[in-house]
Structure 1
Amino acid sequence: MGRVSGPPVRHGLARILSKQGVCSRTEAARWVLAGRISVDGRVVRDPEFPVVRDRHRICVDGHDLQSPAPVYLMLNKPRGQVTTVRDEQGRDTVYRCFDGAQLPWVAPVGRLDKASEGLLLFSNDTGWASRITDPASGPDKTYHVQVGGQPDAAVLEALVAGIDDSGEHLAARSVRVLRLGSRNAWLEVVLDEGRNRQIRRLLAAFQLPVLRLVRVAIGELAIGDLGKGGWRELSREETEALARPTR
């Protein structure tokens, strides 16, 4: 007997728009509410309206929904910017770095908090972004972290062993000392997953305040000499290497 397939999978209209890489899910909801989106010739104003992408005709401002060409970017995020499109508090966002650039909509691939800086990826390819951020197979992230204090070998080992904090196990894949100052130290910390403020929470458990935190590499992609606030497109070889499973 032949295998019986289930009903087609339906997703909310705003989600479909964002998955196609044309805008963020929040922006898609705004478009729907504004009456800019039609499904099979009828304007829909419900962002959660269920549709099947390959079965329904979706139009934006009267034009068939078309996925833009995929874009893959790296940015050297400055300290003090938040990783979001819009900030309700009016704070400067990472999108300021793209002012004046002729780019389609791109989303951050992972995040860096406001006080952190360094390598941040952007893309409108949601499948690629999911592979990069997958904790089970995505690339390691390497950080250079300046801390107050001078951790000894026992503390470095404890950082790798990890701690339990708020129901989460936080640990570094590896930690080594880059250089020591009179009252502080620079550490290289490698993570194989990224939980919210993971490095700051982990170091705080050992009374090591973070003075500066810079992400310097994702997998084999290093930030190199890219200046603060600078960005560039990734090469095909770089995008493929980042998406290749590492574990």
Structure 2
Amino acid sequence: MRLDKFLSHTGFGSRKEVKELLKKKRVTVNQTMVRDAKFSVNENEDEICVDGQPVLYEKYVYYMLNKPKGVISATEDASSRTVIDLVKSDDYKKGLFPVGRLDKDTTGLLLLTNDGPLAHDLLSPKKKVPKLYQALVQGEMTKADIETFSSGSIQLDGEKCLPAILTILSIDMEKKQTIIHLEIMEGKYHQVKRMVEAVGKKVIELERLEMANLTLDTELSRGKYRPLTEDELKLLKNNE
């Protein structure tokens, strides 16, 4: 494995950030300083250190993806491009999959990993993992809608939704459109869109901003991804 890929996968940032580490002579392989990003290492046998501290290779990878429109949240599909198709071959690891689903036309935060146990915990209804969305809504959301969402009285498929936090960010009276934040604690099918429809409005644009303790990197453009930092991964695992 290339040294820059190894360091990127173990939480030291993007390839560009890793190259800065190497340039500053902060990385050693088997006690020898290495500055070449393409240097080949054996992740299971070589001793790789940053600032004198050993870096341990983990079998799992964790990527934050800013999902674009037009791709589906699946590992493969016969007719549509998937989120896994956005991952470069050098970064792909066997068993990589998206944690949960975003609709084809929904954008924003999506975690890609091959860590099944973590994904199970994040998706378990018992864990009540919060997810924050921003939506452009056709129609004027009201204080009454805020109360309806918070009361947990909305029903989908005959079941009540858990209480959700609706925040009205702005209203365009001329276009009769509202920009909202909505935090939900579950992941029913098309839940945000259907909850908004239940109060007589319609979602036009939808983006996920947060999941658990993970917040979408505002510098990550649509369709791009990066490894989670060590701090982000620690925060995410606090939900286990």
Q: TM-score, normalised by structure 2?
A: 0.69
Q: Contact (CA 8 Å) 1:131, 1:138: kept in 2 or not?
A: no
2:194 to 196, 201, 210: 201
Equivalent-residue separation in structure 1 for 2:128 and 2:195 (angstroms): 21
Equivalent-residue separation in structure 2 for 1:232 and 1:138 (angstroms): 26
The number of equivalent residue pairs is 178
Report what 1:170 is aligned to: 161
Q: Contact (CA 8 Å) 1:175, 1:189: kept in 2 or not?
A: yes
Matches within 5 A, 1:137-148: 137=127, 139-148=129-138
1:188 to 174, 178, 181: 181
Q: Tell me: CA distance 1:138–1:154, structure 2 relative to 1, closer, same or farther (3 Å).
A: closer
Q: Does 2:63 align with 1:73? A: yes
Q: Contact (CA 8 Å) 2:106, 2:207: kept in 1 or not?
A: yes
Report what 2:21 is aligned to: none
Q: Does 2:120 align with 1:127? A: no
- Residue 137 of structure 1 and its aligned partner are, at CA, apart by 2.2
Q: Secondary structure at the match of 1:136?
A: helix
Q: Contact (CA 8 Å) 1:131, 1:243: kept in 2 or not?
A: no
Equivalent-residue separation in structure 1 for 2:147 and 2:115 (angstroms): 38
Which consecutive residues of structure 2, in runs of 5 or more, have no partner in the other structure? 1-57
- Residue 139 of structure 1 and its aligned partner are, at CA, apart by 3.2
Q: Contact (CA 8 Å) 2:122, 2:212: kept in 1 or not?
A: no
Equivalent-residue separation in structure 1 for 2:215 and 2:201 (angstroms): 26
Between stretches 96-105 and 199-208, larger displacement belongs to 96-105
Q: Secondary structure at the match of 2:125?
A: coil
Q: Contact (CA 8 Å) 2:131, 2:212: kept in 1 or not?
A: yes
- Residue 171 of structure 1 and its aligned partner are, at CA, apart by 4.2
Which consecutive residues of structure 1, in runs of 5 or more, have no partner in the other structure? 1-67
Between stretches 211-220 and 236-245, larger displacement belongs to 236-245
Q: Contact (CA 8 Å) 1:73, 1:234: kept in 2 or not?
A: yes
**Partner deviation per Cα, 1:13-64 (whole Å, 9 max, x = no partner):** xxxxxxxxxxxxxxxxxxxxxxxxxxxxxxxxxxxxxxxxxxxxxxxxxxxx
Q: Does 2:232 align with 1:227? A: no
Q: Contact (CA 8 Å) 1:203, 1:209: kept in 2 or not?
A: yes
Q: Secondary structure at the match of 1:118?
A: strand
Q: Tell me: CA distance 1:242–1:124, structure 2 relative to 1, closer, same or farther (3 Å).
A: same
Q: Contact (CA 8 Å) 2:65, 2:225: kept in 1 or not?
A: yes
Q: Contact (CA 8 Å) 2:84, 2:97: kept in 1 or not?
A: no
**Partner deviation per Cα, 1:147-171 (whole Å, 9 max, x = no partner):** 0011110112112223122122224
Supply the RMSD in Å over aligned alpha carbons: 1.8
Q: Secondary structure at the match of 1:143?
A: strand
Q: Aligned letter for 1:225?
A: E
Q: Tell me: CA distance 1:172–1:145, structure 2 relative to 1, closer, same or farther (3 Å).
A: farther
Give aligned-pair identity as a percent.
Answer: 29
Report what 1:98 is aligned to: 87
Q: Contact (CA 8 Å) 1:79, 1:114: kept in 2 or not?
A: yes
Q: Secondary structure at the match of 2:85?
A: helix
